[in-house]
Amino acid sequence: MSTTLLRDPSALEAYARDVSGLRGVPEAVARPESLDEVVEIMRHAASDHACVTAAGAQTSTTGASVAMQGWLLSTRAMARIIDIDAATRTARVEPGVLIGDLQRACAPFGLFFAPDPTSEEESSVGGAIACNASGPRTLRYGATRSHVRALTAVLADGSRYDARRPLVEKNTVGYQLAHDPVDWFVGSEGTIGIVAEAELALLPVPAQVLGLGVPFADEARALAFIVAARETPAVAPRCLEYFDVESFGIVRAEMGDASWAPTAGAMVYLEEAGDGEPPLDAWLALAESFGANAGDVRVFDGEQALREARRLRHACPAAMHERTAPYLAQGGRRMSTDWAVPPRLAAHALIEARTICAAHGVPAPVVYGHLGNGHPHMNFVARNADEVRTIERALAEVLRMIIAMGGTVAAEHGIGKIKAKWLSLQANGRQLALMRALKHEFDPEGRLAPGNIL
C-alpha cells in the first residue's frame, strides 16, 4: 500500500480526542490525500478486518470522531475545493475542507454555503455532512442535508458508491426511505461509509443583511419575543439566537463592553436578510412590545460587523471549554445538551429542565443557542466523574420530558458515542430495526465507526 499507516505513539495521541473529551488511542492513523487513497486504505482495512473511524477536524462534542478500536482515517489532507460553478451554484469539494475556507472561496462569486455551525472555522464539510450540522441560519435555510446534491462514499469493502439526489419532482416507486441514497449518508456519523467527495448547493449572498442584538429584562420576555418573531408577517428572521444572563455576560466580556445593558436578564441576536431594506422599524416595534428598550439595541450592519457578531456567538462555547479545561485531568468535562422541542414549547421546556436539574443538585447551567428552532444548549461544567454521573441522571429525566413534549434528544450534534444511550429513549423498536438494517446493508461486519449511533 502506498499510503502509510502512522503508528508512532505521538502521532496516534494527536488523534486520540475530539472536543467531547472522550479519549481513544487508535491502533493506526491513515491520512489519505485523494479519493483513490481512501479506496486503497479501505481495501487494506477490509483485508485486515480492521475497524475504521473517519475523522474530519474532530470538533465533535459526542465522541463520534474518536476511534475506540481499530484505525482512524483522517480527512485533514483532503482539503481541496475541486470546483465552484457559479452558473449552477455548485461547489465540488473534498471532505476535509473547512467550512470557513469554503465560504471565503465562494464569496468572490457572490455565493455562500448555507450551513453555518458556530464551529465553521474549525470544522470540516465531511463532518458537517456526517453529522447533518446546522447553525444559526438553519432557521431560514435548513440544516446541511438540504444543501448536499451528491456525494461519493467509499464503503467498508473499499468499493466506491456514488449517490446523487433525484432530479424528478415526483416519485411513487416503493418506500420513500429508499428514494434518495444521499439521505442515508447525511447524518450517518461515519457508520456506513467514508464521504470522500461532495457536491454542495450554494446560495446567492443576499444584498442586505441586518443583525440586531436585543437585550430583554428576563428570559420569559426574550423567549416570547422569539416566538412572536417567527409568527409576525412584518419580519422574516434568518436567525434567532438566545443568550441567557450568563452567556450575555460572556458576550459583553468578549466585546470588552460592560456597559451594554448591564441589568438585562437575556439577549436575542437576530438577522434578517433579503434584497430590500430590512424592516428595522418593525423589529424595534416588536422588541418594544416585549419590554425591550430601543436605546439598548445594538445594530450589526455590514460584512465586518456580521463577522464580529459570529465571533461573539462563538465566544460562548469557547468560554465553556475554557471553564472546563482545568477539570479534564480529574474526570470532569463540559456537558452540553442538544435537545430541541417545537419552538412554542421551548420556554416551558427550559423552565422544567432547570427545575429537574436543581432537584438533582446540579448547579444552574449556562444557556444559549438556536431558540428560533426551539433548540437551546444547556451547558454544565462537570468538575469530576461524580458530577458527570449526577448531571447525566438529571439529563436522562430532562430528555424523557423533552420526548414527551414531541422533542428530540439531539438536534444538531448527532448521537456519537456519548449520547448513543439516549437513542432508545427516542427511537422505537421498528425505527431501531430499520437503522440496524441500513447499517448491516453497508457494513455487515460492523467495522465502520464502532460505537457511533447504534
Ligand X SMILES: Cc1cc2nc3c(=O)[nH]c(=O)nc-3n(C[C@H](O)[C@H](O)[C@H](O)COP(=O)(O)OP(=O)(O)OC[C@H]3O[C@@H](n4cnc5c(N)ncnc54)[C@H](O)[C@@H]3O)c2cc1C
Q: At what angle do helices 346-359 and 385-404 cross, to 10 degrees?
A: 140
Q: What residues from 394 to 423 belong to the interface with ligand X (CB under 6 A)?
A: 412-413
- Residue 337 as a binder of ligand X (CB under 6 A): the answer is no
DSSP state of 343: G
Strand, helix or coil at 440? helix
Stretch that binds ligand X, among 186-194, 264-272, 344-352, 378-386 (CB under 6 A): 186-194
Minimum separation from the CB atom of position 277 to ligand X (A):
29
Which of 56, 187, 343, 374 binds ligand X (CB under 6 A)? It is: 56
Q: Which stretch binds ligand X (CB under 6 A): 124-132, 214-222, 227-235, 399-407?
A: 124-132
- Regarding 123 and contact with ligand X (CB under 6 A), the answer is yes
285 in Cβ contact with 226 (< 8 Å): no
Q: Which of 24, 26, 70, 95 binds ligand X (CB under 6 A)?
A: 95
Q: How far is the CB of 200 from ligand X (least distance, A)?
A: 13
Which range binds ligand X by CB under 6 A, 53-61, 225-233, 269-277, 418-426? 53-61
Reading across the β-sheet that carries 71-74, which strands appear in turn? 5-6, 28-30, 71-74, 52-55
- Tell me how far apart the alpha carbons of residues 14 and 5 are, in angstroms, rounded to a whole number: 14
Q: Which of residues 79, 114, 194, 340 is near ligand X by CB under 6 A? A: 194
Q: How far is the CB of 146 from ligand X (least distance, A)?
A: 14
Residue of minimal CB distance from ligand X? 127
Q: Rounded to the nearest whole angstrom, what is the least distance from the CB of residue 370 to ligand X in the complex?
A: 7
Measured distance CA(73)–CA(38) in Å, rounded? 8
Identify the H or E element spanning 317: helix 303-324
Residue among 221 and 313 whose Cβ is closer to ligand X: 313
The least distance separating ligand X from the CB of residue 38, rounded to whole angstroms, comes to 9
Interface with ligand X, residue 211, by CB under 6 A: no
Query: Is residue 75 near ligand X by the rule CB under 6 A?
Result: yes
Does 373 bind ligand X (CB under 6 A)? Our answer is no
Rg of the chain over Cα atoms, rounded to whole angstroms, equals 22
Among 35, 45, 54, 309, binds ligand X (CB under 6 A): 54
130 touches 13 (CB < 8 A): no
Residue from 37, 40, 189, 387 touching ligand X (CB under 6 A): that is 189
Q: What is the DSSP string of 353-376?
A: HHHHHHHTTPPPPEEEEEGGGTEE
Looking at residues 4 to 33 of the shown chain, list those that interact with ligand X (rule: CB under 6 A): 18-19
Contact 369, 377 (CB under 8 A): yes
Strand order in the sheet with 148-154: 81-85, 90-93, 194-201, 148-154, 160-164
Which has the closest alpha carbon to 337: 251, 402, 249, 242? 402
Pseudo-torsion of CA 346, 352, 354, 360, nearest 10°?
A: -150
Residues near ligand X, by CB under 6 A: 18-19, 53-61, 64-65, 75, 95, 117-119, 123-124, 126-128, 130-131, 133-135, 189-190, 194-195, 317-318, 412-413, 449, 452
